[in-house]
């Protein structure tokens, strides 16, 4: 059931993004949000490979769909 696992991971990442946004608010440099999000994601038991952009006043969620051109990050 890969779809259910993906939904679970997505929920965790979105929850982490909201916690960071709600706790820190606005006004910090991007690196502060990036580090806080990486920390929250690691606390939730996931590995971090890419960050979310906090450049707007509220969190916006966009789901990416895997395509034939999708590149898996090399860790």
What is the maximal distance between C-alpha atoms in the chain? 40
Query: Token pair 């990416």 is at which residue?
Result: 64
Q: What is the pLDDT of residues 34-58, one digit of tens each?
A: 899 999 999 999 988 657 666 777 7
Task: Over range 49-70, report the average pLDDT.
Answer: 70
User: Which tokens hold the place of 51?
Assistant: 């960050």
In whole angstroms, what is the distance from residue 75 CA to residue 54 CA? 24
**More confident call, 19 vs 68:** 19
pLDDT > 80? residue 72: no
Sign of CA dihedral 74, 37, 28, 18: positive
In whole angstroms, what is the distance from residue 55 CA to residue 64 CA? 19
């Amino acid at each position: 059931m890969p779809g259910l696992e993906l939904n679970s991971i997505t929920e965790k990442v979105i929850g982490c993004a909201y916690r960071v946004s709600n706790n820190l608010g606005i006004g910090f440099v991007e690196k502060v949000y990036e580090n806080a999000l990486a920390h929250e994601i690691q606390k939730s038991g996931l590995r971090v490979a890419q960050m979310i952009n906090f450049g707007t006043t509220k969190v916006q969620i966009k789901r990416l769909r895997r395509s034939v051109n999708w590149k898996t990050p090399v860790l």
